[in-house]
Amino acid sequence: MSDILSSLNKEQREAVTTIGGPILIIAGAGSGKTQALTHRIAYLIEQKISPQNILALTFTNKAAKEMRQRVSRLMGQETEKIANYQITKSGGFIGTFHAFASKILRDEITRLGRSRNFVIYDEKDTLSAIKDIMAEFAIDLEKFRAGGMASAISKQKNELRDARTYNDSAKEFYEKLVGKVFARYEEVMKESNALDFDDLLLLAVKIFRKFPDSLEKYQNQFKYILVDEYQDTNHAQYTLLSMLARAHKNLCVVGDDWQSIYMFRGADFTNILRFEKDYPEAKIVFLEENYRSVQNILDAAHAVIDKNIYKTTKNLWTKRGKGDRVRIIETGSETEEGYFITEEINKILRERKIANDLNDFAILYRTNAQSRAIEEAVIQEGWRYKMVGALKFYNRREVKDIISYLRFVQNSKDLLSLKRIINVPPRGIGKASWDKLYSANDLNKSRTFQQNIKSHWNDLIGANPDQQQTAGYAWKVRDSKISAFLEFISGLKNMSLEKKTSEFIKILIERINYKEYALDGTEEGEARWENIQELVTVASKFDEFPPQEGLTAFLEEIALASATDDISDERGELNLMTLHSAKGLEFPVVFIAGAEDGLIPHSKSSFDMAQMEEERRLCYVGLTRAKERSYMIFTRRRSLYGKNQPSVPSRFLSDIPAHLVEFKKYGEIDTEYLEI
């Protein structure tokens, strides 16, 4: 038996060695799906299939990195091309859907009349752009939320609908309002040479539909396609995969419909349920042996998910024994909830049986608003902790400032970045100057702000002195601070073509005197400067690229970073995160806070069966993050969103059979576990 297969169970070996035609791997929580995927890649290479013909897609950079590292360990240094994914025309690819779509667009987007040096807007950038558009149209931001507007537009793009298609069918007032913003948003993004996450998939599919030769090129390269977390695919991702796999049908998808929890992002778990219909010849393999959790936790989680109607049938089992029962804890308030958690962690750490370090614990909650009381209890203990997904590293103010400089240097059409950095650090360009420029009072009214800036920019970097005298408004302000700033950026742009990525960023930081700006004499200032230094460290990974390519690859990676990419394995830090952020993670001990109707399940699911089923799946995911012990905590009263009101225990608690739980009242009454 091959060394690649020796560590696998029977079902995993079947999943790995079935290499011809479509295959669906239904992988329950903790059943070794990543192991199956990585061993399958290694097995394909062992069978003399070229790495350049392999495409493996995931949903997070963290998962992609783990997959590359595992393949590298299995195969050795000779597989460096696939283990260390480089965005090349000839190499294999292991990465996220969005990174892959970006790769396609860097090669093909000129066929749509767009430039290859596009920047990628993250969710925060997109929201800022939409807010500006709503202000332009005098839309009341109190009455109509920008976030809701962004979600509505994102939903349409996930369905592969552009603004024109959407507006053709818009009937209600709000739909027409969304359509108006959507159309203007498309214009702004094109003018700024920017794409958002949804654009990456939308335009990749558009290219494949419009240019069959482009699709054929990628079909012929990627003859073997592997997809992780298939249950989380949306319509755009589903379509992209279907088109790519059409030629050779060597499509391997791994997933678990029981863990589909991203419906709000457009994920459609029915994609995995209809795989057999899409590919009647497909082989189906079930991975049901769990290597993570004790049996009592698995059975409790199964009892919750079993109430769902639309699901596959499977029965997870483990060799780890029955283990501890699920602890159901009643507290009087969210304050007591926090105190119980910290006291219980202290108790477990003293015993040293199931956990030895704060990093072995995770506290999960349905909404970020719940974290306040928990944080207060943790702070009183003097513990270090990390809040996963609360504020991504790349969205911190100081980091975002430097990134915006880099983006504008790379793409001078990126007006969102220009707006952010034009007076950071302060250089005497106030809001009035910006507004005057933006309103184009002295400009040709037929031109957009982007067009005027472009003209100004072109004058700055290309005009000779004689031309400057006749260049219009742009050179009326040639001695202004704005003009001086753009000249400064022009110099940086030239430098970026010569310097390694990290070296260029160091020079940029020095030239704008950002260290002095960040270090304001406070601890927060010290932290800001440390974050800037960490950004330089991250950038150094791209120094092996040619200068301009390195900067592009660096900006692309950080734009596509997800919240879970910030998760580290650093010891001595307690993990706090939402249930959604916990997907794909595991911990010896897990506390699920707020096990109350209105939170788990969320109030929005009360009258929607599809959403209620999603809430059950979310609870299932939370329970199955635990290896040794799981707690579900509810309060009798909770202060949330400014209201103090009675709470009702989650209906999911009553789904768990009595023999699988231990119950405890925390506070003034009992302190011992009671059998129920």
What is the dihedral angle through the alpha carbons of 573, 576, 579, 585, rounded to the nearest 10 degrees?
A: -10
Distances (CA, A) of 242 to 109, 158, 249, 420, 573: 21, 15, 9, 40, 42
Q: Which of 392, 500, 625, 629 is catalytic?
A: 625
* pTM for the structure as a whole: 0.86
Is residue 34 among the annotated active site residues? yes
- Omega within 30 of 0 (cis) for the link into 646: no
Q: Which of 60, 231, 259, 450 is catalytic?
A: 259
pLDDT, mean of each 10-residue run, the chain (676 residues) = 85 95 96 94 93 94 88 68 40 89 95 93 92 93 92 95 93 94 95 94 97 97 96 97 97 96 91 95 97 98 96 95 97 94 96 93 93 92 85 82 93 88 87 63 42 52 46 47 82 91 94 92 86 90 88 88 60 92 95 96 92 97 98 91 85 97 78 42
Is residue 625 among the annotated active site residues? yes
Q: Which of 196, 198, 228, 344 is catalytic?
A: 228
Residue with tokens 């999943």: 15
In tens, the pLDDT along 501-514 reads 999 999 999 999 99
Give the pLDDT of residue 369. Answer: 84
Backbone angles phi, psi at 431, to 5 degrees: -60, -35
Is residue 583 among the annotated active site residues? no
Give the pLDDT of residue 75. Answer: 79
Give the pLDDT of residue 439. Answer: 56
Q: Which of 33, 184, 366, 499 is catalytic?
A: 33
Give the pLDDT of residue 398. Answer: 93
Tokens coding 613: 């089923």
Is residue 522 among the annotated active site residues? no
Tokens coding 340: 């119980």
Q: What is the 3-state secondary structure (H, E, C) of 190-222?
A: HHCCEEEHHHHHHHHHHHHHHCHHHHHHHHHHC
Give the pLDDT of residue 461. Answer: 46
Q: Which of 17, 18, 34, 295 is catalytic?
A: 34
Is residue 228 among the annotated active site residues? yes
Give the pLDDT of residue 565. Answer: 59
Give the pLDDT of residue 435. Answer: 67
Give the pLDDT of residue 90. Answer: 42
Is residue 33 among the annotated active site residues? yes
In tens, the pLDDT along 238-269 reads 999 999 999 999 999 999 999 999 998 889 99
Give the pLDDT of residue 445. Answer: 41
